């Protein structure tokens, strides 16, 4: 069993004054991440926090179960969304197990991406 080792906090870093962010989640939720960034920069933290808590967090909670899982999770999500032709990742990465696939699908449904 793998354990959670990393959860990205782009929103918090922006609140602390970061000038930008690089986010793998932007491949799945590009508009939402852009909106969150713009809202933080405009000082509209309540609106930015709403996006973060309702969309970014549910996705990242599933994609970042372990630091090694996020690429497989995002590739699988893009496959389900019809963006990529295959969900397969190359070694040394491994595919998500059935439990993680189920939960990732649930998170994507929850945030309106499936």
Domain boundaries, the chain: 10-110
Coil, strand or helix: which one is 114?
coil
CA dist., res. 60 & res. 5, Å (int): 12
Tokens representing residue 100 in the block: 């993680």
CA dist., res. 26 & res. 33, Å (int): 6
pTM over 0.85: no
CA dist., res. 106 & res. 58, Å (int): 9
Q: Assess whether pLDDT exceeds 70 at residue 107.
A: yes
Closest to 46 measured CA to CA, from 7, 15, 13, 10 = 15
> What's the average model confidence in pLDDT over 8-37?
86
Q: What is the pLDDT of residues 31-80, one digit of tens each?
A: 999 999 999 999 999 999 999 999 998 888 887 776 678 889 999 999 99
């Amino acid at each position: 069993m793998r354990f959670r080792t990393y959860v990205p906090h782009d929103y918090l870093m922006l609140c602390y004054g970061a000038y930008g962010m690089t986010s793998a989640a932007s491949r799945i939720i590009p508009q939402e991440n852009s909106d969150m960034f713009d809202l933080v920069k405009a000082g509209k933290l309540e609106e930015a926090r709403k996006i973060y808590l309702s969309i970014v967090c549910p996705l990242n909670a599933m994609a970042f179960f372990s630091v090694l899982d996020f690429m497989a999770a995002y590739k699988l999500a893009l496959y389900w969304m019809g963006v990529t032709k295959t969900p397969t990742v190359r070694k040394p990465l491994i595919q998500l197990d059935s439990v993680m696939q189920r939960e990732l699908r649930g998170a994507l449904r929850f945030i309106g991406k499936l």
